[in-house]
């Protein structure tokens, strides 16, 4: 009789994925980067919740977002409009992300300069729950229109999550949704599940959710000296120095419709501070003026700004400047907030 070997493929796949997920988690822990895996069905409001998160935390944390979908870049484009670093992950028809795909995305987005990375998983209540992505914490969003019986129909996703976000509570009066029952059913699956009723649209409950999220994050080193007299983050002060030098040198050649974003900030062991900044203007003609003939004006802006920045930081600085056209940025509330301009 011919001998043959039986292989339990599913068990092998999950075991391999779990090992890889553990490696991803360990690597993130060494870098001090927190990865949150956010799951839900389509249309639950994950992206709107992310926009609220970015609005609240953008000045406190260095954030990145990985958007996963079978074949679309709609959400990644929406997130990128906030100025937060984002990438789109296409799964090639697969209904989930595993640890290997997540690791590839983390390499692409770059975690060295990020405190928090949010993975917005494929919209699905089944497959994503089966695969450990290597995230530090896992959350899911359930919207009121989906009904309160989802924990009974899709038990696994409620079992593996650390937090349940119940979104769209602003429409509770219009749906047959029982909040007490959904909490009861969810806790049947996972007694330790933290539950947050919110409305990403109105902002109700979002602060409470993000307070808990911030509590999850590891404490980093003190970034500012105790005697610093300004309550503005150093990045914002550096951006303002660059903008001030640019406007002084260009006088009236370029309108005040310019902004500066700090893309990268790295403090090396030898004390050198590496800063990459982008100057945003609204017209291509302005870009040429800012750069100047053979880059002369941009170099002068950088030279003068670097001197002031070094005096402020009391450290040597390597400053690299780029110029990009972003039409209508002043009409985009998320871009305005990202550049430090609050609505009046």
DSSP string, 284-320: HHHHHHHH-GGGHHHHHHHHHHHHHHHHHHTS-EEEE
Tell me how long the chain is.
Answer: 344
What's the CATH code of the domain at 306?
3.30.300.20
Quick one: 70 and 19 in the same domain?
A: yes
- Whether residue 229 lies inside any domain: the answer is no
- Whether residue 179 lies inside any domain: the answer is yes
The answer to whether residue 12 scores a pLDDT higher than 70 is: no
- pTM: predicted TM-score of the whole model, two decimal places: 0.63
- Whether residue 117 lies inside any domain: the answer is yes
Residue range 316-337: average pLDDT? 74
The answer to whether residue 265 scores a pLDDT higher than 90 is: no
With cut-offs at 50, 70 and 90, classify the pLDDT of residue 211: confident
Residue-level pLDDT at 230: 47
How far apart CA 332 and CA 8 sit, in angstroms, is 53
Phi/psi of residue 192, nearest 5 degrees: -90, 0
What's the CATH code of the domain at 124?
3.40.50.300
207-238 core/surface letters (b: 16 or more CB in 10 A; e: else): eebbeebeeebeeeeeeeeeeeeeeeebbebb
Quick one: 63 and 189 in the same domain?
A: yes
Domain limit, last residue, from 182, 216, 250: 216
Residues 232-263 pLDDT 10s: 568 888 888 998 888 888 866 665 678 888 88
Residue-level pLDDT at 13: 65
Domain limit, last residue, from 216, 245, 264: 216
> How many distinct structural domains can be found in the chain?
2
Quick one: 291 and 252 in the same domain?
A: yes
- Whether residue 164 lies inside any domain: the answer is yes
Residue range 29-41: average pLDDT? 92
Quick one: 134 and 17 in the same domain?
A: yes
Quick one: 278 and 167 in the same domain?
A: no
Residues 140, 151 contacting (CB under 8 angstroms): no
The answer to whether residue 149 scores a pLDDT higher than 60 is: yes
- Per DSSP, the residues of 187-232 read HHH-TT-EEEE--TTT-TTHHHHHHHHHHHSPP----S-TT----S
Quick one: 129 and 42 in the same domain?
A: yes
Pick the range with the lowest mean pLDDT from 39-43, 225-229, 252-256. Answer: 225-229
Quick one: 248 and 312 in the same domain?
A: yes
Quick one: 124 and 13 in the same domain?
A: yes
With cut-offs at 50, 70 and 90, classify the pLDDT of residue 333: low
- Whether residue 3 lies inside any domain: the answer is no
Residues 283-292 pLDDT 10s: 888 888 889 8
Residue 268 burial (CB count, 10 A): 11
Residue-level pLDDT at 328: 67
Quick one: 77 and 19 in the same domain?
A: yes
- Whether residue 226 lies inside any domain: the answer is no
Quick one: 108 and 200 in the same domain?
A: yes
How far apart CA 111 and CA 108 sit, in angstroms, is 9
Pick the range with the lowest mean pLDDT from 54-58, 150-154, 265-269, 327-331. Answer: 327-331
Quick one: 243 and 145 in the same domain?
A: no
Quick one: 200 and 242 in the same domain?
A: no
Provide the β-strand partners of residue 88: 67
How far apart CA 114 and CA 28 sit, in angstroms, is 10
- Whether residue 1 lies inside any domain: the answer is no
Domain limit, last residue, from 146, 181, 216: 216
How far apart CA 56 and CA 50 sit, in angstroms, is 10
Task: Count CA atoms closer than 13 A to 268's CA, side-chain side.
Answer: 10
Residue range 298-302: average pLDDT? 93
Residue-level pLDDT at 335: 52
- Whether residue 31 lies inside any domain: the answer is yes
Q: Left (φ > 0), alpha (ψ -120 to 50) or beta: where does 92 sit?
A: left
Instruction: Say what angle helices 296-313 and 234-250 make with each other, to 10 degrees.
Output: 140
The answer to whether residue 216 scores a pLDDT higher than 70 is: yes
Residue range 316-324: average pLDDT? 91
With cut-offs at 50, 70 and 90, classify the pLDDT of residue 331: low
- Domain extent at residue 14: 9-216
The answer to whether residue 222 scores a pLDDT higher than 80 is: no
Q: How much of the chain exceeds pLDDT 70, in percent?
A: 85
Residue-level pLDDT at 30: 86
């Amino acid at each position: 009789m011919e001998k043959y070997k039986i292989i339990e493929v599913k068990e092998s796949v999950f075991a391999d994925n779990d090992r890889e997920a553990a490696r991803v988690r360990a690597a993130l822990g060494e870098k001090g980067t927190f990865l949150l895996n956010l799951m839900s069905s389509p249309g639950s409001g994950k992206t709107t919740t992310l926009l609220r998160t970015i609005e609240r935390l953008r000045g406190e944390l260095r954030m990145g977002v990985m958007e996963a979908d079978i074949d679309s870049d709609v959400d990644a484009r929406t997130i990128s409009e906030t100025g937060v670093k984002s990438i789109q992950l296409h799964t090639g028809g697969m209904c989930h992300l595993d640890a290997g795909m997540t690791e590839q995305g983390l390499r692409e987005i770059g975690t060295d300069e990020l405190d928090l990375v949010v993975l917005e998983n494929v919209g699905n209540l089944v497959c994503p729950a089966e695969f450990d992505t290597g995230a530090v914490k896992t959350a899911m969003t359930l919207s009121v229109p989906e009904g309160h019986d989802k924990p009974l129909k899709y038990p696994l996703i409620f079992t593996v999550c650390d937090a349940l976000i119940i979104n769209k509570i602003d429409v509770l009066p219009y749906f047959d949704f029982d909040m007490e029952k959904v909490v009861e059913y969810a806790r049947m699956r996972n007694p330790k599940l933290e539950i947050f009723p919110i409305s990403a649209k109105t902002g109700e409950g979002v602060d409470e959710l993000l307070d808990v999220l911030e509590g999850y994050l590891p404490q980093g080193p003190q970034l500012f000296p105790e005697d610093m007299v300004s309550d503005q983050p150093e990045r914002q002060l550096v951006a303002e120095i660059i903008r001030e030098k640019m406007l002084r040198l260009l006088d009236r050649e370029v309108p005040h419709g310019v902004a500066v974003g700090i893309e990268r900030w790295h403090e090396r062991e030898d004390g050198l501070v590496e800063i990459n900044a982008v100057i945003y203007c609204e017209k291509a003609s302005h870009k040429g003026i800012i750069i100047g003939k053979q880059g002369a004006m941009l170099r002068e802006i950088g030279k003068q700004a670097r001197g002031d920045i070094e005096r402020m930081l009391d450290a040597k600085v390597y400053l690299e400047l780029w110029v990009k056209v972003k039409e209508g940025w002043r009409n985009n509330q998320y871009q305005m907030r990202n550049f430090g301009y609050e609505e009046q």
